[in-house]
Amino acid sequence: KRLPQAIIIGVKKGGTRALLEFLRVHPDVRAVGAEPHFFDRNYERGLAWYRELMPKTLEGQITMEKTPSYFVTKEAPARISSMSKGTKLIVVVRDPVTRAISDYTQTLSKKPDIPTFESLTFKNRTTGLIDTSWSAIQIGIYAKHLENWLLYFPIGQILFVSGERLISDPAGELGRVQDFLGLKRIITDKHFYFNKTKGFPCLKKAEGSSKPHCLGKTKGRTHPDIDQEVVQRLRDFYRPFNMKFYQMTGQDFGWD
C-alpha cells in the first residue's frame, strides 16, 4: 500500500466520480472507491491511517483517491505538499452556474424543505447582491481557490479537466489525463457508449466486470427550473472570475 501519487482534488458536482470510474478501467490505476476526506476532515488521524485506506499496488501502478472538497479547503494544499511535493493534482471543473444548480439539486434530494435556489442565491434580491457565503456559489469561484493551490504547487502539476468535455468526448479528456499521469493511452473511445436516458457516457465494461456500467441513480438528476433572470445574474457574477481562471490555467472552458 502506497500513499497516492495522484489525487482528484475537485470540484464537487464537476464530474469527479465519472472521471474516477473511467480511470479505474486502466490496469495501471488503483484507486480508493470511497472519498477518504483525509486532508480536510481526518487529517489528525495521520498518514499511516491514510495509507491503510489505499489499495495494494504493483510496481509501476498509480495509487489514486478523489475527494472533491479538497479544492476549497484552505489547509489542503499545504498538507498535500507536506506529504509529497510531487503529488499530481486533477481538478474537474464545469460551468459554475450549472455546477451550483447541480449542487442545489443534490441537497434538495436529501432535504426537500430547503428554500428555493433563487432565495439562497441573493443576499438581497432587490439589489441583486449575490450571497457568496453560500457554498454552492462559493465553490464555483475557481480562480480564488486556485490561487491558494499555486502557493504550494506549480501550475504544470495540476491538470484541469473539463466536466463538459468529459461528457461530450470522454475518450479525448481521458487521453489528456492518461498523458498527464504518464500512463499508456489504454482507455479510448471503444470503452464508451452514450446512454441517452442518462445523458452521459457509460462504460462498456467496468473495472473487474464484463457488464456495462453507468453511474448510479444519484448522477444525472433532473435540475429544477431556475428563473432565467437569476441564471443571467449568476452568469454576470461569474464572468470575471471565469476569465481570470482561463488566464491562470491557459485554457478557455467556453462557459460564456
Residue 215 makes CB contacts below 8 A (sequence gap 6+) with 17, 18, 21, 198, 200, 202
Q: What angle do CA 213, 89, 160 make, to 5 degrees?
A: 75
User: CA distances (Å), 201 to each of 32, 174, 242, in order?
Assistant: 22, 12, 26
Catalytic-role residue among 12, 13, 66, 88: 13
d(CA 47, CA 52) in angstroms, rounded, equals: 8
Q: Which helix (H) or strand (E) holds 12?
A: none
Sign of CA dihedral 20, 26, 174, 221: negative
d(CA 73, CA 148) in angstroms, rounded, equals: 9
Binding-site entries for 3'-phosphoadenylyl sulfate? 13-17, 94, 102, 219-223
Q: Is 13 a catalytic residue?
A: yes
The residue with cell 499545504 is 78
Residue 239 makes CB contacts below 8 A (sequence gap 6+) with 256
Sign of CA dihedral 147, 153, 154, 159: negative
What number of other Cβ atoms are within 10 A of residue 247's Cβ? 11
Query: Taking Cα atoms as reference points, which of 163, 142, 152, 166 lies closest to residue 72?
Result: 142
DSSP 8-state assignment for residue 37: -
* Catalytic residue set: 13
